[in-house]
A and B are shown apart, each in its own frame.
Chain A
Amino acid sequence: MVTNVQWAIISLSLFAGAFNIEIFRSGIEAIPESTVEAAESFGLSRWQIYRLVVLPMAIRVCLPALGNNLVNLVKTTNLAYAIAVPELLYVSKQIWSDSTNVREMMFFVLFAYLFLVFVLVAILNGIERRLAIPGFGQQGGH
């Protein structure tokens, strides 16, 4: 029997996966033809080109969009409230119906999510910076 938590994981995976497909597609398509041709002229096989040339670049192109998706997903997880998954919102509701402090709990939840999102964004920006290749993208000194 699938529990509510597992249902939440399954449906949110489908939800986020739908985005990721499009993100990866656009990332792979963004790799210029000449790059692939250059790799071909080195004598790399199709799989090698994909693994050594296209994918490393595509991931860097995708990264901001993937990060976006992740942030969105974090914000969406609280929909699991509707199926009684004990996540932040659900637990908060239990607390405020016990101790009738709706306002305080509401603002706590809001700021907890904001904190979560900002921490996540900071981490993702760090990853982007670490993975950055000099000369590839990011012109204008970000």
Chain B
Amino acid sequence: MLRYRDAFTLPAIFSSAGFLQQVPRGSFSPRGEGARRADEGALLPERESGPSPARLDDLRSRRRRIRGERRERDRKSWPHVLSPEGRGGAESITGRIGFGRLALLFVLVVGVGAGVAVAQQPAAVKATSLEVLVRWAPLLLWGFGFNILISIMAMAIGTVAGVPVGIAQLSRFKPLRIAAGVVTQLFRNSPWLVLLFLCVFLIPFEIRIFGLRIPFPDWAKATMGFALPVMANTSEIARGAIQSVATGQWDSARALGLTRRQALYLVIMPQCVKRMLPPWMNLYSLVAMSTVNASVVGVSEMITLTSQVHAAEGSRPELLAPLYAFALACFFIYCYPIGKWTQALERRYQTSS
């Protein structure tokens, strides 16, 4: 089961690479309210400005130096701690790496993969790993395109369904509010893989409407499987964004004579788009990385194709590393800029709002 092991470690590696930039974020955590507390500025007492009782000169000079350093550091790290929505603008590990080192890392990953392959290569007439990669790259990239297609469709469906659910969570009509809350918590707290299985095994393979047969292929069912958790997470993002808008906005909208609905659509929601965008993009890169899970249920996406290519090349163990390194590189190249862009947006919106 060697190749399944790699199919597994890959998503983990992908995820950890993309995950680094989004750790303490309240609005899209599985625990909602409780988690948001960690990031709230309310935790922090005011900074003291008065002189300290310590009088010693050397101590003072040392403190001055330390304080300078800390102030510099605090200037960087406090805003995200203090931001009311708790959307961390924290510079992440990946944020500090920079593109030069990133490129180096990428070359290293592929290089090590190829190097392992070359080292294990018996001196025979078999194709080298590079030749294999070049030969199969179109197919693998096609598979990667399929991953992206699934992720975009899941995101579209999930968002279209999730935002109304999020608004419904704040409805004044209690049954609707409770129902929306239950749906959100249900799909947010269950594992993605289980939801994927649920959709793939329980949705029929074709639907008949008025004698019209609509086939429902595997990948469409997998898309639904990803759309469900996306819906729940988008719902929470939307709820968090709406709640983060100051109450004064609602009051002034009412003062202008707007109904609640008008206030929501004309005043509150336009402000929410900006707040929702960074966590929403984070969610997207998470979905993009999760699409490899679809290989478990047999959708012919990149990892499935990679293992098939490996089998077609005679399942030589020295091909494992380069083939999966290629898959890893594709996802990394796709997801990393999204992560950087998200960070940039976060920083920009944080200062302006």
Residues of A within 8 A of B (CB): 4, 7-8, 11-12, 14-15, 18-19, 21-23, 25-27, 29-30, 32-38, 40-41, 61-65, 67-69, 71-72, 75-76, 78-84, 89, 102-103, 106-107, 109-110, 113-114, 117-118, 121, 124-125, 128, 136-140, 142
CB-nearest residue of chain B to A35: B45
B24-A89 in contact (CB<8A): no
Q: Which of B36-44, B128-136, B212-220 contacts A (4 or more CB under 8 A)?
A: B36-44
Q: Given contacts A8-B8, A80-B8, A142-B34, list 19 more A-B pairs with CB under 8 A.
A: A7-B5, A11-B13, A14-B12, A18-B19, A22-B20, A26-B81, A32-B44, A41-B53, A68-B30, A75-B30, A76-B12, A79-B12, A82-B7, A82-B295, A83-B8, A84-B4, A89-B194, A106-B194, A125-B34
CA distance A142 to B38 in the complex (A): 13
Total interface residues on B, CB under 8 Å, equals 62
CA distance A111 to B73 in the complex (A): 45
B92-A22 in contact (CB<8A): yes
List 9 tightest A-B contacts by C-beta distance, closest first: A22-B23, A75-B191, A137-B43, A64-B38, A82-B8, A18-B16, A34-B48, A29-B77, A68-B29
B88-A83 in contact (CB<8A): no
* Residue with the highest number of chain A CB atoms closer than 10 Å, among B7, B31, B186: B31
B259 within 8 A of A: no
A65-B38 in contact (CB<8A): yes
CA distance A107 to B80 in the complex (A): 40
A110-B5 in contact (CB<8A): no
Q: Which of B63-71, B144-152, B241-249, B309-317 contacts A (4 or more CB under 8 A)?
A: B63-71
Q: Which residues of B contact A29 (CB under 8 A)?
A: 73, 77, 81
